[in-house]
Amino acid sequence: MEQPSVAPILSLNNVEVIYDYVSLAIKGVSIEVPTGGMVALLGANGAGKSTTLKAISGLLTAERGEVRRGEVTFLGQSISGMMPQDRVKLGIAHVLEGRRVFEHLTPEENLVAASAVRSRHVMKRNMDRVYGYFKRLHERRGVASGYLSGGEQQMLAIGRALMTEPKLLMLDEPSLGLAPFLVAEIFQIISTISKDEGLSVLLVEQNAVAALDIVSHGYLIENGRIVMHDSTEALKRNPDIQEFYLGGAKGKDFRDIKHYSRRKRWLT
């Protein structure tokens, strides 16, 4: 496995998250995101992807969760125990799963609200930048966001995150419920932003095919544990990944299903 040459912007070291003092959601997750790089975190439902992101952005407390062990380091500084707004100020932006735009506000007001941690005079500049990337938002800036289409809402959610001037953008399932061509368009834009501005991206996806097209590295998480980490090319070549995440296996019969469960067990 090749190591990224640059110093990581974000690293998780053996992080363990527990909800409600009882249920262990992720168990000893270690992840690194290289500065300016794009990394994917892949996994099935309930594998712990969203929890990992919330541990980084500090949104766990709202859901009665806490980081019980391990350390989250951002730009060489430990951020465990920081309030969410302070993390945003440092440059961590989290695009929530299911878009979660402020429905009763217009897109423009969404962007204004999101600039709460940045000073007033950079707001206009950031807004122009966001409208530059997402032309459609500019056209629809005056209607209530609840009435935008799914794709437009996702663009707004990403644009909103960009308003906070992030150094690290974390996206939680941006492809959820979107048509494939929209997924391609949004991923293209993310990749452009990353290249143009040196933005680091941590992408959480179930749609592994689309995700592996734009990232350089991928982590595979299952049952709250990282089970695989490699470059995109290596991941794409891996027969297990092909079979379980890329839909590569064809013509299964009953024996293959048994085989599937055996291989899954090996993975965890």
Partner 1 sequence: MDAVLLLESAVNGALVGLMYSLVAIGIVLIYKSSSVPNLAQGSMTMLGAYIVLAISTGVGAPIWLAIPLAIGVMFFVGIGIERLALRRLAGRPVIMILMMTLGIEIFLRAGTMTIWGGTSRPISLGISDAPLFLGPLLINRAYAFGAVVALAMFGLFVLFFRTRTGVVLRAISDDYTAAWSVGISVERGVALSWAMAAVVATIGGVLWGSVQGVDQSLALLLLKAVTVAVLGGLDSIGGALLAGLLLGIVEGVAGSFLDPLLGGASRDLVDAAMLILTILIRPHGLFGRHDIERI
Q: Give whichever of 110 and 207 is closer to partner 1, judged by the CB atom.
A: 110
Q: Give whichever of 5 and 119 is closer to partner 1, judged by the CB atom.
A: 119
Q: Shortest Cβ distance from residue 132 to partner 1 (Å)? A: 19
Q: Give whichever of 173 and 243 is closer to partner 1, judged by the CB atom.
A: 173
Q: Shortest Cβ distance from residue 32 to partner 1 (Å)? A: 22
Q: Give whichever of 114 and 190 is closer to partner 1, judged by the CB atom.
A: 114
User: What is the H or E stretch that residue 32 is in?
Assistant: strand 23-34
DSSP helix/strand/coil, 92 = strand
Q: Give whichever of 124 and 262 is closer to partner 1, judged by the CB atom.
A: 124
Sign of the alpha-carbon torsion through 255, 256, 257, 261: positive
**Integer Cα distance of 197 and 132 in angstroms:** 14
Other CB atoms within a 10 A radius of the CB of residue 124 amount to: 10
Residue 160 corresponds to which tokens in the numbers above?
């909103």
Q: Shortest Cβ distance from residue 6 to partner 1 (Å)? A: 26
The distance in angstroms from the start CA to the end CA of the chain is 19
Q: Shortest Cβ distance from residue 38 to partner 1 (Å)? A: 20
64 phi/psi in degrees, rounded to 5: 60, 35
- Answer for the pair 67, 15: CB distance below 8 angstroms, yes or no: yes
**DSSP character at residue 100:** -
Binding site residues, partner 1, CB under 8 A: 57-59, 62, 83-85, 87-89, 93-96, 100-105, 109-110, 112-117, 120, 123, 146, 160-161, 163-164
**Integer Cα distance of 78 and 174 in angstroms:** 27
Q: Shortest Cβ distance from residue 257 to partner 1 (Å)? A: 33
- List, in order, residues 6 or more apart from 58 with CB less than 8 Å away: 79, 82, 83, 84, 87
Q: Give whichever of 163 and 186 is closer to partner 1, judged by the CB atom.
A: 163
Q: Shortest Cβ distance from residue 181 to partner 1 (Å)? A: 25
